[in-house]
Structure formats: structure tokens, C-alpha cells
């Protein structure tokens, strides 16, 4: 069986499953699988989702934080309304947008997650560099807003800048791991980085 054939099958499977269960994107299953493994979303949490359209992660986060939690999403694209979720349309590179997110969360965030993707140029090194730039934006936002012990989840297109980015995360979080959920294995360079325990960094871990 070719790898491409397997990838297509997996994509189709999660696409159909998302439709059946009323999730807005296949990506919902990536977040469920990541959270089932790393336990990063808890009831009552405040979660910020960067690059949230069309809203698949927002749906999962809202279910898992429950009625006492808060979920806020931002994207360049508009996001159709979702119950229990607040969204804004804007660019995370814009300070006014980041300020708005801070106001919406009262400056107390327990989980920052980013599934942001750059526009794909087709050049591997260009796409990787743009992805790392978005990862750095997400990290800067997390460092500014997370409560002590908070968590971060970020998508990264792997490449030669990945190591430095992960090393930087390790300076701020107790536990940093790379993970590829089953629902995401269709894309060769896409990986998720889970960073837990903001402000409780320790030395000597492996990625
Ligand atoms: C893979 S999609 C996110 C899918 C989402 N997690 C879901 O479950 O539906 C990536 C998103 O990142 C957004 N994005 C890319 N750069 C951004 C930026 N600078 N600011 C805000 N959103 C951005 C894109 O507009 C796109 O909608």
C-alpha cells in the first residue's frame, strides 16, 4: 500500500467523521487526540485559540472546558458564531488584536493554542520559516498571558529552525514534547508541540 493511499484514506475518514458529528473541521480530531494524550484542557479553563477558523478546535475546547470555562478564538478569516465561544477577526501580528484578546480574557489564560498555518508557497524552507514565525508569535503571546502552570499547544512545520524554537520553549515550560496525532499524519512536516507547566521550567529534558 502506498503512503499516499493511506494518507488519502485517513483524510477521508476524518473528513466524514467530522461531518457526521457536526465538527467544523477534521482538525477537531487532532485536538481531541492531543488532549486525550496530554491532558491539557480542563473544566473551567480559559483557552485562547490562535488561527481558529473555521472553528473545529473551538468546538472541542468549548466542550472540554464546560460552562464554567471560557474560549476565545482569533483568525484572519471570519468565524461563524459558536455557542459558548467568543471570536474576533484579526491578525495576531497586530498588537491591537493581541490587546483585544487580553481584554476578552481579563488577562488570565490557562491554555494558548495555535493551529496557525502560513499560506503555502510550495517552497519547503520558506513555508517552514513562515510557520516558525507564527510559532514565535504564539509563544510571545503565551509568555505574556499564561497563568503560572499554564499550557501551550502549537503547530509547527518542521525544519532546521525547529530545534531552536523548542529549546526556547523549554526555558519557560516544565515539559515540552513533540507529537503527531493520528488524525494529522497525512502531512509530512506538520508536528504539534505541547508545552506544559508555564514558569516551572527544569533542565535536561528531551524533545
Ligand atoms: C489549519 S487552519 C486552523 C483550523 C482550526 N484549528 C480548526 O480546527 O478549525 C489555520 C488558520 O490559521 C489562520 N492564520 C494564519 N496566520 C494567521 C495570523 N497571522 N493571525 C490569525 N490567524 C492566522 C488562517 O487564516 C487559518 O484559518
3-state secondary structure of 30: helix
Q: Please check whether residue 61 lies inside any domain of the structure.
A: yes
CA of residue 57 to ligand 1 center, whole Å: 11
Q: Please check whether residue 137 lies inside any domain of the structure.
A: yes
Ligand 1: does its nearest atom lie under 6 Å from the Cβ of 69?
A: no
CA of residue 1 to ligand 1 center, whole Å: 32
Question: CA 155, 48, 199, 98: dihedral to nearest 10 degrees?
Answer: 100
For ligand 1, atom 5, name the residue with the nearest CA.
52
Ligand 1: does its nearest atom lie under 6 Å from the Cβ of 52?
A: yes
- Give the helix/strand (H/E) hosting 201: none
Q: What is the pLDDT of residue 8?
A: 77
Mean pLDDT, range 5-19, rounded to an integer: 83
CA of residue 131 to ligand 1 center, whole Å: 11
Q: Where are the alpha helices (DSSP H) in 22-174?
A: 27-38, 56-65, 95-104, 124-145, 162-170
Alpha carbon distances (Å) from 41 to 7, 30, 110, 129 = 28, 13, 9, 29
Q: Judge residue 163's burial from the number of C-beta atoms within 10 Å of its C-beta, 0-12 exposed, 13-18 middle, 19 or more buried.
A: exposed
Domain residue limits at 61? 3-198
Q: Please check whether residue 205 lies inside any domain of the structure.
A: no
Active site residue 89: no
Is the pLDDT confidence value at 202 over 90? no
Ligand 1: does its nearest atom lie under 6 Å from the Cβ of 115?
A: yes
Rounded to whole angstroms, the Cα distance separating 187 from 20 reads 23
Rounded to whole angstroms, the Cα distance separating 79 from 50 reads 12
For the full predicted model, state whether its pTM sits above 0.85: yes
Ligand 1: does its nearest atom lie under 6 Å from the Cβ of 153?
A: no
Q: Please check whether residue 129 lies inside any domain of the structure.
A: yes
Q: Please check whether residue 203 lies inside any domain of the structure.
A: no
Total domains present in the chain: 1
Q: Please check whether residue 96 lies inside any domain of the structure.
A: yes
Residue 70 sits in a domain of what CATH number? 3.40.50.150
Rounded to whole angstroms, the Cα distance separating 35 from 182 reads 13
**What's the pLDDT tens digit per position in 173-199?**
999 999 999 888 656 689 999 999 999
Amino acid at each position: 500500500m502506498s503512503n499516499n493511499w493511506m494518507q488519502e484514506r485517513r483524510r477521508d475518514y476524518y473528513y466524514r467523521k467530522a461531518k457526521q458529528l457536526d465538527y467544523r473541521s477534521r482538525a477537531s480530531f487532532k485536538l481531541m487526540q492531543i488532549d486525550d494524550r496530554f491532558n491539557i484542557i480542563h473544566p473551567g479553563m480559559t483557552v485562547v485559540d490562535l488561527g481558529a477558523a473555521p472553528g473545529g478546535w473551538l468546538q472541542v475546547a468549548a466542550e472540554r472546558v464546560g460552562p464554567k470555562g471560557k474560549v476565545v478564538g482569533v483568525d484572519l478569516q471570519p468565524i461563524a458564531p459558536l455557542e459558548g465561544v467568543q471570536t474576533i477577526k484579526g491578525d495576531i501580528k497586530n498588537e491591537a488584536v493581541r490587546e483585544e484578546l487580553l481584554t476578552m480574557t481579563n488577562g488570565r489564560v490557562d491554555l494558548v493554542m495555535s493551529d496557525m498555518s502560513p499560506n503555502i508557497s510550495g517552497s519547503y524552507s520558506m513555508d517552514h520559516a513562515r510557520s516558525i514565525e507564527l510559532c514565535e508569535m504564539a509563544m510571545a503571546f503565551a509568555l505574556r498571558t499564561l497563568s503560572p502552570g499554564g499550557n501551550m499547544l502549537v503547530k509547527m512545520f518542521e525544519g532546521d529552525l525547529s530545534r531552536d524554537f523548542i529549546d526556547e520553549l523549554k526555558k519557560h515550560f516544565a515539559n515540552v514534547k513533540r507529537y503527531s496525532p493520528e488524525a494529522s499524519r497525512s502531512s509530512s512536516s506538520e508536528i504539534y508541540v505541547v508545552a506544559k507547566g508555564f514558569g516551572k521550567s527544569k533542565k535536561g529534558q528531551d524533545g
